[in-house]
Amino acid sequence: MFEDSISSRGGARIGWMNATWPFAVLTARQAKLDLNATLLGKYSFTPDQVISLEIYGSIPILGSGIRIHHNIADYSKKIVFWCFGSPQKLIKRIEDTGFLPSAQPDSLPPERGMPIRWQVIIAIIVLWNFLFLLDMFSPSGSKQETGVFSLLAVFLLFLGSIGIWRIRTLQNIILKPERSPNEIKAWLYLLAFISGTMSIFMSISIFNQPERSGSHINYTKINEFNSPFEIVSGRTIVPGTWDWDIESDVIGGEGQIDIWWKHVNTKERSLVPRNGAKFALISELSYEDIDIQHLKSLKYYDKEISDSEDKQVLLKGTTIGVLTAEENLAKLKVLGFRELHDFQFEGSEVLDQEWRSFVLKKRNREKYHIEFAWTLYQKAQ
């Protein structure tokens, strides 16, 4: 039985890339064979571009199909259509449309290696990691937070994967001489889809973050703080693992504790807001230049500010705005740190003798107690 055209849905393999069922469609007619692999691109062949159609794979349903041996230099050498049923019967149906491969076996193009310049690959890797590192070492205070530099890295990848098709200058920069983006079409299509999707979700995560709810990302922006207030300043050393109430300047008290100086392990630690207190890392002004008006303009989050040996956020000079548990405003400046075995600072009397004897048996740690300069803007009673 002869047919003018046929169509079969299945999967596809382009080079090393696979598209599973039902993301590929093979259509055939007398003058043309088309393989539309959706995310991996569309591939068209005339009879004089196909050397043969061969059965590929030996596992029915899971791994059997038709390999299209072709002589198009711009296409990946290995192009396979995965099909349900018998590959032999599908080849017969293709031949019944009048599509008969006519290319000579010696017309296969020579192997030409990777079409992308190695210098470009190295530059992409370096730029990608550099942008992500900018987010890691920015004063965000959160290991999980997605930053604008990470978004920029992904978005540039998206622009590059679609721009290479139309911008000749970009092709000349990325590809080796006399090479075509068609050779990596499957990679480019998949890369564009993944990076484009990631860009959308990362944008939502970054720019809508303040409006989400949850114990780690609630925020408050001070719109009203017009009551008379008193200004109180001081310096306080908060021992490792202890709480601090800013209003009373008491370590380990029973009142409205604002901050817990938590130590996760020997390398990780964090400032944790307590009892509804919230933080805002400040990088745009120095501690001395921050006034009540600037503190009122900030957005305050109830997520902890993490610090570790690998990602040091709480450095000497780091400035933090605080909305306290009693809804006053304060600014803190990290003045430095004291060692685990240091018991000579003001406030160390909370560390009893039994605890001191215990920690002296342990290895000393440099950044254990944290020292702040602070200014509290307290509503007048």
- What gap in Å lies between CA 94 and CA 115, rounded to an integer? 32
Per-residue pLDDT at 47: 94
Q: Which two tokens stand for residue 318?
A: 């780091």
* Sequential DSSP letters for 68-136: EEE--TTS-S-EEEE-SS-HHHHHHHHHHTT------GGGPPPP---SB-HHHHHHHHHHHHHHHHHHH
Say whether 118 sits in a helix, a strand or coil: helix
- What gap in Å lies between CA 215 and CA 230, rounded to an integer? 30
Sign of CA dihedral 94, 96, 98, 102: positive
Per-residue pLDDT at 377: 93
Q: Is 364 exposed, middle or buried (0-12, 13-18, 19+ CB in 10 A)?
A: exposed
Write the single-letter amino acid at 251. I
How would you list the strands of the sheet with 259-263, edge to edge? 250-251, 243-245, 259-263, 268-273, 305-308
- What gap in Å lies between CA 381 and CA 346, rounded to an integer? 29
- What gap in Å lies between CA 316 and CA 322, rounded to an integer? 18
Which run of H or E residues covers position 371?
strand 369-379
Cα angle 148-152-158, degrees, rounded to a multiple of 5: 145
- What gap in Å lies between CA 183 and CA 358, rounded to an integer? 66
Task: Walk along the chain (381 residues) in steps of 10 and give the mean pLDDT of each run.
Answer: 83 86 91 90 93 81 82 89 90 92 87 86 91 68 62 91 87 88 84 91 71 40 62 94 92 85 91 94 92 91 90 92 93 95 89 91 91 90 64
Cα angle 235-239-243, degrees, rounded to a multiple of 5: 90
- What gap in Å lies between CA 270 and CA 267, rounded to an integer? 10
Say whether 150 sits in a helix, a strand or coil: helix
Task: Provide CATH code, domain 5-107.
Answer: 2.30.29.30
Beta bridge partners of 299: 221
- What gap in Å lies between CA 161 and CA 169, rounded to an integer? 14
- What gap in Å lies between CA 207 and CA 280, rounded to an integer? 17
Would you list the domain boundaries of the chain?
Answer: 5-107, 118-207, 219-379
* Residue 153: φ, ψ to 5°: -60, -45
Q: Which two tokens stand for residue 252?
A: 């380990």
How many other β-carbons are positioned within 10 Å of the β-carbon of residue 60? 11
Per the CB < 8 A criterion, the answer to whether 72 and 45 are in contact is yes
Per-residue pLDDT at 216: 37
Per the CB < 8 A criterion, the answer to whether 355 and 247 are in contact is no
Q: Which residue, 335, 324, 316, 323, is CA-closest to 373?
A: 335
Per the CB < 8 A criterion, the answer to whether 236 and 372 are in contact is yes
- What gap in Å lies between CA 18 and CA 30, rounded to an integer? 27
Chain position carrying tokens 């310049």: 117
- What gap in Å lies between CA 67 and CA 326, rounded to an integer? 71
- What gap in Å lies between CA 49 and CA 288, rounded to an integer? 74
Q: Which residue, 338, 320, 337, is CA-closest to 329?
A: 320
Chain position carrying tokens 């349903």: 61
Query: Whole-structure pTM over 0.85, yes or no?
Result: no
